[in-house]
Amino acid sequence: MSKLDPILTRLDPEAGILIGGQWRRGSRSFDVDNPADKTILARVADGDKTQALAAVSAAVAAAAGWRDTSPRSRSEILYRTFEAMRRDADEFVALICAENGKSEADARAEVGYAAEFFRWFAEEAVRTGGQYGEAPAGGVRTVVTHRPVGVAALITPWNFPAAMATRKLAPALAAGCTVVLKPAAETPLTALAVARALEAAGLPDGVVNVVPTTDPAEVVTTWMESPQVRKVSFTGSTGVGRHLLRQASDRIVNASMELGGNAPFVVAADADLEAAVDGAMIAKFRGGGQACTAANRIYVHDSQAFDFTAMLAARVRTLRVGPGTDARSEIGPLISSRAVENVHGLVDDALSRGARIAAVAEIPDNLSGYFYAPTVLGDVAPDAAAVQNEIFAPVAPVVTWNDESELLDMVNGPEMGLAAYIYSRDLKWAMQVGERVEAGMVALNRGLVSDPSAPFGGLKQSGLGREGAREGLAEYQETQYLSIDWSPA
């Protein structure tokens, strides 16, 4: 018996549709596999339109009670869930390593990050805000309040199965919204574990409803067409985001979209190369490069390019590739065979345009999953497909630059604008360039950009709205004001 078996027994994924506090089976089910060896981990209940409608009905039935629950009570439930995720971190790590393929170190970092959203929004839940003021003309007092937007449909991706769920669930629940959640079919088990943790923390029935499915179009369209769903929050590709926005426009549904990324990583002429390489190893290779914030295109000043590429290549050659369930692994598999094929195409295109392979890590012969060797490409053409498109894999293309204006043209050229990274000893220069970078988040001299206390989100085709921070709570609130006659009697 594997260590995952008792976890799966408790989760009972074949009854993995949660509606109104009841775990249900569907009329069908689907397999979830381990991308490291293609073995089947579990069968999961496969939701359809019937369950999607029932989930909305349950959320509506629970809405008034949850809206009227005191902020302190909501806060305490969120905090107990945070404590549960920390206590049961090993179980969450095991699930992520198995269904996503992430290395144990990356999975453990994700679980800690995911849990922090419950702690952060447990604290924000009691800071309800509001304003009281006097109209400039006199005779009127204005009271501004915030209230939950209503039933929220949450749609999460496979690459951060814990954090993408908690980053949406925590602010929605803190604001007083009830929700319907559709996790990615590739990684539904972690989301079911999060729902179980909320349930154990005392969340009332129907406040969170979960519908795993292999037909996301049917389930999500059902929610988007429901007059009772007033909010949609989606993390995923820009193409799907555009489609959801068109659907949202039909009923003027409040929409938050965290879409594709193509993050530039800039190394200046005066950068500390050791620090920049350390940062690139995190920004590029964390999670095997399968992150929307991953450094996708590395722009190194011509005076530093040879040394930076050599140093990065030396580090990448030592990366240990293997299944996430092996504690020694640093890089796990990609999510699917299609992902592997896509990366081969991007690398072949770069090589055809004059790029060279500076380093390739070794993949053990006994691996049978969806692995792609961590790779460093030098002398990459700025117009290569690997630069212009999101790679979502452990491949680092290095492009050289000389002129600051030309650098900004390259950095801001793609339609995405989620994250960016800049390394320079001159903080003033880095900040001035950072303010001219068309990205919602810019990390200066560090390889991480995400934090629950900071507003996560992008510009241009990378999305709308913010997650995390106070802004994340506001995404699930409507503003109302009361205008009160205050004229003298």
- Cα 157 to Cα 44, 149, 233, 378: the distances in Å are 17, 23, 11, 31
Q: H/E/C letters for each residue in 415-434?
A: CEECEEEEECCCHHHHHHHH
Q: Look up 225 and say whether it is catalytic.
A: no
Which pair of tokens denotes residue 68?
């009227």
Is the distance from CB of 277 to CB of 312 less than 8 angstroms?
A: yes
In the set 124, 258, 330, 438, the catalytic residue is 258
CA distance 26 to 365: 40
CA distance 294 to 386: 13
Strands 295-301 and 263-267 turn out to be: parallel
Helix (H) or strand (E) holding 273: helix 273-285
In the set 292, 330, 467, 475, the catalytic residue is 292
Q: Look up 292 and say whether it is catalytic.
A: yes
Is the distance from CB of 70 to CB of 78 less than 8 angstroms?
A: no
Q: H/E/C letters for each residue in 354-387?
A: CCEEEEECCCCCCCCCCCCCCEEEECCCCCCHHH
- SS3 of residue 329 by DSSP: coil
Which pair of tokens denotes residue 80?
């107990």
CA distance 483 to 489: 17
Which pair of tokens denotes residue 209?
């409803």
* C-alpha torsion sign, points 219, 221, 222, 223: positive
Strands 208-210 and 419-423 turn out to be: unpaired
Is the distance from CB of 32 to CB of 187 less than 8 angstroms?
A: yes
The count of residues in the chain is 489
Is the distance from CB of 174 to CB of 121 less than 8 angstroms?
A: yes
Catalytic residues, by residue number, are 258, 292
